[in-house]
Amino acid sequence: MSSFETGVQLFKKLLMKQKNMDAYFANEEDALHHAFPAKATVHSGPFGIPMLWSTARNYLEKKSHEPRRKEALAYVHIPFCESRCLFCMFYQNPWTAEESERYCRNLIREFALWSGRPAQDSAPIKALYFGGGTPTALPPQQLKELLIAAKKYLPLSDDCEITVEGRVHNMTDEMLEASLEGGVTRFSLGVQSFDAKIRKEMQRIDTPERVIRRLEEIAANKQAAVVIDLLFGFPGQKGTAWENDLKIASELPIDGVDCYQLNVFEKSPLNKRIQAGLLEPAATLAEAADMFARSVEVFSSHSDWRRLTNTHWARTRRERNIYNSLAKGSMDCLPFGCGAGGKLSGHSWMQERKLSKWNEMIEKDQKPVFVMMKPQENWYLLRTLASSVESGPFSLKAIGEAFGAEIEKPLKPVTDQWIRAGLLEKKDDLFIPTVAGQFWYVTMAQLLTEALTGVLSKGSVRTEDLIEQSVYSPNQGQAWLDGVLRK
């Protein structure tokens, strides 16, 4: 099996060879398994234009004194882990008591850095997300102090969703108590698999039995939503292992489940072990498609599970999935911490990833910008299109109307062909992805984004690409809930 990057490069080469709309067409035979030759990207959306570091810093400093016009998100990155999982590409630093103490002190300092500036204070924060890394690798008291500081310096809305990402291994009674006292409303826990063999091979710490027992204990608290991630496509996961994962997850008293496809990245420890013959290959795209389809079948068969997006399921009303849903779109997101990413007025940026450099800049009261991308023309429209397709049912007519543009007609050759191929169905103005379309959703979102970019570049469609008009937010969850796809 080739790496994820190899598939992306293959896809790009095929697109470059064709100049017309048929470059975006799908294979009309067996769309679930073979609609496209590979996945096009990890996250879909319009491309940005790199800015010089000095220009980026000056822009951000200027922008920090201008008010935001809408609600925003906030992301806090904790760049520590106790150990590295084989498949993970987000590992940065091992946890140490000394580094952890300094980091938390400086993170609070970063919260305060823009306090009083309009870019931070002028409109409410709708969702706050502590990600990593492993936020629960911090001592409970440190995490609580960060949560309290975030509430002090950030204008959190009254109903703000506050998520802490973590491992079940770290979710002690002390961690649970500290998190709840700090205001956490949602835990996102990376289970990945309940299979003992897979967990051991991927260097996950706890046994399946302990994971299940602890999830039941945390969920029994009922003070915050408990959501888990499952990955499909691991070596040896096909068949019984995945079936058991789905059965266990669907029967647990938790609030939500994400089912994500495993991406085997070229430089990951997992790929190196596969290439060395130490592990069997991960699932092929076709095999992963079957695993995804089975997840849809299992969760759809339970009346207490409802669908929020292509990959996310909720069992209770506690699970709102606000951050994950809105972060895909054009909403501003204020980043804090080493390696955090965010966006402001369409400009996306990554903060300094080297821990020592990040600490140094914060201790000089400098916002630690590492790289910034200027939005391409029509960014808000293109970002809204991509996020809508990624989420589930979408309306090109409604998106176009929100931006004063006719986009459904120029994209009709592609959407008509995708309907013929079995990726989409159409009900009134709503395009509804089939199970095959749900599996290929990121690729489809990227292809439609690139197709519309080409149309707009020819000047045949005029848009009003203003921040005020980037408000289209289709209620995909309601569409799923209404049973559009349940026939």
Stated pTM of the model:
0.91
2-17 confidence digits (pLDDT tens): 555 565 566 566 666 5
Domain count, the chain: 2
Specify the 3-state DSSP secondary structure of 7.
helix
Tell me if 479 sits within 8 A of 432, measured CB to CB.
Answer: yes
User: Max Cα separation, the chain?
Assistant: 60
Task: With respect to residue 369, please indicate whether it lies within any of the assigned structural domains.
Answer: no
Instruction: Catalogue the long-range contacts made by 148-151 (C-beta closer than 8 Å, 24 or more residues apart).
Output: 148/182, 148/183, 149/107, 149/108, 149/111, 149/112, 150/74, 150/76, 150/111, 151/182, 151/183
Q: Of 154, 78, 79, which Cα lies nearest the Cα of 112? A: 154
**Quick one: pLDDT band at residue 439, thresholds 50, 70, 90?**
very high
Same domain, residue pair 97 and 41: no
Give residue 161's pLDDT: 98
Sort residue 483 into left (φ over 0), alpha (ψ -120 to 50) or beta: left
99-121 confidence digits (pLDDT tens): 999 999 999 999 999 999 999 99
Same domain, residue pair 17 and 53: no
Same domain, residue pair 11 and 60: no
Q: What CATH number does the domain containing 130 carry?
A: 3.80.30.20
φ, ψ of residue 62 in degrees (nearest 5)? -65, -45
Would you say residue 232 has pLDDT above 60?
yes
Tell me if 160 sits within 8 A of 126, measured CB to CB.
Answer: yes
Tokens of 121: 């204070």
Strand partners, 313: 257, 307
Same domain, residue pair 270 and 123: yes
Same domain, residue pair 254 and 127: yes
281-328 confidence digits (pLDDT tens): 999 999 999 999 999 999 999 999 999 999 999 999 999 999 999 999
Distances (CA, A) of 286 to 238, 303, 374, 437: 11, 28, 37, 14
Same domain, residue pair 33 and 64: no
329-363 confidence digits (pLDDT tens): 999 999 999 999 999 999 999 999 999 999 999 99
Same domain, residue pair 10 and 100: no
**DSSP annotation of 117:** S
Q: How many CA atoms lie within 13 A of 197 on its CB side?
A: 11
CA distance 332 to 339: 17
**Quick one: pLDDT band at residue 486, thresholds 50, 70, 90?**
very low
Task: With respect to residue 333, please indicate whether it lies within any of the assigned structural domains.
Answer: no
Pseudo-torsion of CA 46, 47, 51, 57, nearest 10°?
40
Pseudo-torsion of CA 226, 231, 234, 237, nearest 10°?
70
Same domain, residue pair 89 and 224: yes
Cβ neighbour number for residue 216 with a 10 Å cutoff: 13
**Quick one: pLDDT band at residue 479, thresholds 50, 70, 90?**
very low
| Segments forming the whole domain that contains residue 469 | 4-47+378-481
Please compute the mean of the pLDDT values over residues 444-470 and round it to a whole number. 73
